[in-house]
Chain A
Amino acid sequence: MKKKSISYAKWGYFFVLPFFVVYFIFSLIPMLQTFYYSFIDYFVDTSKPPSIFTGEYAVVDNGFCGIENYLDVLGLTEDTAISFIIPLKNTIILWLGGFIPQIIFSLLLAVWFTDIRLKIKAQGFFKTVIYLPNVIMASAFSLLFYSLFTQGGGIYEIIKSLTGYDVSLINTPTGARTVVGIINFIMWYGNTTIMLMAAIMGIDTSLYESAQIDGANPSQTFWKITIPLIKPILAYVLVTSMIGGLQMYDVPLLIGGPTGGPKTVLATLVKQIQAGRDSNVSKVAALSILIFIVSAILGFITLKLMDDSTKIKKKKVKKVKA
């Protein structure tokens, strides 16, 4: 019997194959290895160079140790070389410092740009301008801010001449957090604005028109129409930003230096990994697994949020029918 139709499906598999091969070699295997290392007591004595004839590092491998690495990293034992809780707290604070102003500004700008009554001119220009900071490398941005805020820098001198305060902002815990927050905010609000605009433009304008005819004011249309309808995108923005935030590394490092800035408030999770990976192999592996778990939980929460928002719609539809 002859085939009824030609199947192109195999070509699809053929084209996605490279991704899976690369993923398997460069992501999956290392990830499984990380799981393995997180359960053994293993570190490298970095005070000795590797043997030049065998290439072997001075490894200390004490074999399987259960969840001891996890307990160490969670701060439940006396060994506190690598910690999870404090860097996590630092990372969350730094992330919130950038995200809160970012979401407020982005929502505001997105609503203004899409408002049917305001009809802002030269939108293309503004969109480009607010998006531009995102094009600049984060490290270039950080170095620029560092040189502005550091001792002898422009902003330092202005603050000093106005207030007489001669400690650089990036040398105080709050100041350093603020500067990192500002950098993240400036870098990412354009991106978020454009995503939210796309979401808002997807809303049927007749909804706004009928609301206005019914006498709704702008804040009512915002809270009652815009927000509920862009909820899935908002959830998406929130979670991608959170996962990006968990990986925050370059900006705080360049502002705070390798010791983690004033009172180590700029020591983020990834900084902890980078600093410890050469020596504390198994502890850093445990730390990475914890980050993996946190990211996974965040991922599930988004899925749930997005699901919920569609379910609510369905329920409402059902009610109307009933």
Chain B
Amino acid sequence: MTKIKKILAGTLAVMMASSVMTACGNDDSTSSGGSAGGSNSSDASKKTYNIYCWNDEFKQRFEKYYWEQRDTALWDGVEVNWVINTNTDNVYQTKLDEALSTQATDEMKIDMFLCEADYALKYVDSDASVDVKTIGLTDEDMADMYQYTKDVMTDSNGAIKGVSWQATPGLFLYNAVYAREVLGTDDPAEVQEYVKDWDTFTETAAKMKEAGIVMVSGFDDTYRCFSNNVSAPWVTDGKITVDPQLKAWVDQTKEYTDNGYNNKTSLWDDAWVAGQKIDGKTFGYFFSTWGIPFTLLPNTLETSVDNGGKEEVGNGGYGEWRACEGPQSYFWGGTWIMGCATSDNVEITKDIMLKMTCDKETMKNITATEQDYTNNKTAIKELIEGGYENPFLGGQDHLSLLTEAAEKVDLSNKLSKYDQACNEKFQGAMKDYFLGNTTYEEALDTFLKNVQEIHGDLTM
């Protein structure tokens, strides 16, 4: 017994001591410091390619489409280190900022970080990101990219700070079974007539309700359609404004909630996901290009791929979804890759950017197999001309629709550095109003307070 006690006491002592040590252990800024740039990087840092991102979307693309065509000479002995933090509640930005603030002295250098439209401006106009031309990309390399994806990344001096492999125009994806049942057709062109503007959309919602089906799943589904058509950004000169379009979203969603046109779900929650099953009693979802491969497709399968299911017609809703333009053109999300200014592996960054965002064949390949809409006009055009058919959408060519939508995407005077917090907190606060817990004014107060918590300098 005493022996066991001794061992126990010993283990506890070691654990306590090590817990004290770990507090200092993470800090590997042992170098002299002061010197900027990659000059004080260690060998270990050169042998590690550090990427900051918020989910595994890029990681999957990277592993599947880049890894086998990488420049092996550059990658000799180099390993990738993924640092993944969730986007929600500005966690990713906070973590990235913390890492950036220690770059001057830290030996381990960040080589690449990813960034989303909601906070793109924050990192574009900073010294953390580098002009892609400095990295080694030319205008020619980027000629096939959609202009808006370059505009977002252009800083006040006209330098392009990042590139993307995807363009993210959005569509309305609907359940073909319910379309046949209620509307009598599942043809995208005909269904589009039923959802061509918001008034018609609401009328169709009433029809759906009679059949026991909700038009959209929850509160936030239609949000991006409105928020991308605002006339001014969320924040101008430190002042928050709620655009008439956003108010329209609030009013419409309140009406839909009270009339039972939605299921009172919030984005990503279980009930929202459940509606994507083919018998989920939900007519449609607003999705951007990445929404099909990353959300709708895996969610609608009866037997998931992990459980041995195949992506083929007959497995759940595969083949029973269609896409149409919907009431309003919009975009949602989008991931840009940016080179970090202190990187000690710039050549690798160049290799990744060229092969992952500029190479036509890779882009074509990604779109053909992943249904993602890639940021390369020629690749998409060639696919459409080659008679593209999407088996998931019952053989529909949704690329043509996306091409039309992508041309309409215009982000000028719509983005601010505060969008992540504003969008997230606005949707969160308005949920209370939709559910009848508060009045609109009270919800607006909560929204303002929640944003101010994160950005102390904003007023309304």
Question: Is there contact, CB below 8 Å, between B341 and A52?
Answer: yes
Question: Is there contact, CB below 8 Å, between A279 and B455?
Answer: yes
Question: Is there contact, CB below 8 Å, between B271 and A150?
Answer: yes
A218 at the interface (CB under 8 A from B): no
Q: Mark A64-96, 1 if CB is under 8 A from B, else 0.
A: 000000000000000011110000000000000
> Which applies to chain B's interface (DSSP): helix, strand, loop or mixed?
helix
Residues of B78-121 whose CB lies within 8 A of A = 88-90, 93-94, 96-97, 100-105
Question: Contacting B457 at CB < 8 Å: which of A45, A53, A54, A167?
Answer: A45
- The distance in angstroms between the C-alpha atoms of A48 and B123, with both chains bound, is 7
- The distance in angstroms between the C-alpha atoms of A95 and B428, with both chains bound, is 24
Question: Contacting A50 at CB < 8 Å: which of B97, B265, B274?
Answer: B97
A295 at the interface (CB under 8 A from B): no
A151 at the interface (CB under 8 A from B): yes
- The distance in angstroms between the C-alpha atoms of A24 and B282, with both chains bound, is 59
Q: Give, as a whole number of angstroms, the nearest-CB distance from B85 to chain A.
A: 14
B207 at the interface (CB under 8 A from A): no
Question: Contacting B454 at CB < 8 Å: which of A46, A153, A264?
Answer: A46
Question: Is there contact, CB below 8 Å, between B428 and A259?
Answer: yes
Q: Mark B222-240, 1 if CB is under 8 A from A, else 0.
A: 0000000000000000000
Contacts of B442 in A (CB 8 A): 263
Question: Is there contact, CB below 8 Å, between A43 and B270?
Answer: no
Question: Is there contact, CB below 8 Å, between A167 and B264?
Answer: yes
Question: Is there contact, CB below 8 Å, between B449 and A80?
Answer: yes
B56 at the interface (CB under 8 A from A): no
Question: Is there contact, CB below 8 Å, between A279 and B456?
Answer: yes
Q: Give, as a whole number of angstroms, the nearest-CB distance from A150 to chain B.
A: 6
Contacts of A57 in B (CB 8 A): 97, 101
Contacts of B435 in A (CB 8 A): 167, 171-172, 262
Residues of A109-158 whose CB lies within 8 A of B = 147, 150-153
Question: Is there contact, CB below 8 Å, between A147 and B270?
Answer: yes
Question: Is there contact, CB below 8 Å, between A150 and B126?
Answer: no
Question: Contacting A53 at CB < 8 Å: which of B36, B89, B265?
Answer: B36
- The distance in angstroms between the C-alpha atoms of A257 and B342, with both chains bound, is 36
B128 at the interface (CB under 8 A from A): yes
B364 at the interface (CB under 8 A from A): no
Question: Is there contact, CB below 8 Å, between B93 and A46?
Answer: yes
Question: Is there contact, CB below 8 Å, between B104 and A55?
Answer: yes
Question: Contacting A275 at CB < 8 Å: which of B264, B341, B450?
Answer: B450
Q: Mark A255-291, 1 if CB is under 8 A from B, else 0.
A: 0011110111000000010011011100100000000
Residues of B418-453 whose CB lies within 8 A of A = 418, 424-425, 428-429, 431-432, 435, 437-438, 442, 446, 449-450, 452-453
Contacts of B270 in A (CB 8 A): 147, 150-153
Question: Is there contact, CB below 8 Å, between B454 and A22?
Answer: no
Closest to A259 in B: B428
- The distance in angstroms between the C-alpha atoms of A55 and B342, with both chains bound, is 12
- The distance in angstroms between the C-alpha atoms of A18 and B104, with both chains bound, is 32
How many residues on chain A are close to B (CB under 8 Å)? Answer: 47
Question: Is there contact, CB below 8 Å, between A50 and B456?
Answer: no
- The distance in angstroms between the C-alpha atoms of A153 and B273, with both chains bound, is 12
Question: Is there contact, CB below 8 Å, between B122 and A52?
Answer: no
Question: Is there contact, CB below 8 Å, between A60 and B457?
Answer: yes
Question: Contacting A48 at CB < 8 Å: which of B126, B269, B342, B450?
Answer: B126
A173-B126 contact given A53-B36, A151-B264, A279-B453, CB 8 Å threshold: no
Contacts of A22 in B (CB 8 A): 20
Contacts of B432 in A (CB 8 A): 262-264
Closest to A279 in B: B456
Question: Contacting B122 at CB < 8 Å: which of A48, A173, A275?
Answer: A48
Question: Contacting B123 at CB < 8 Å: which of A49, A55, A153?
Answer: A49
Contacts of A173 in B (CB 8 A): 437
A56 at the interface (CB under 8 A from B): yes
Question: Is there contact, CB below 8 Å, between B453 and A280?
Answer: yes
A264-B100 contact given A53-B36, A60-B457, CB 8 Å threshold: no
Question: Is there contact, CB below 8 Å, between A49 and B100?
Answer: yes
Question: Is there contact, CB below 8 Å, between A50 and B449?
Answer: no
Q: Give, as a whole number of angstroms, the nearest-CB distance from B248 to chain A.
A: 22
Closest to A271 in B: B453
Q: State the 7 A-B residue pairs at the shortest beta-carbon distance, nearest first.
A: A259-B428, A81-B452, A151-B271, A50-B101, A152-B271, A47-B417, A280-B456
Q: Given A44-B456, A52-B103, list of 18 further CB < 8 A pairs?
A: A46-B456, A48-B126, A50-B97, A51-B128, A52-B128, A52-B342, A80-B449, A81-B453, A152-B269, A166-B264, A167-B264, A167-B435, A172-B435, A259-B425, A259-B446, A278-B454, A279-B455, A283-B456
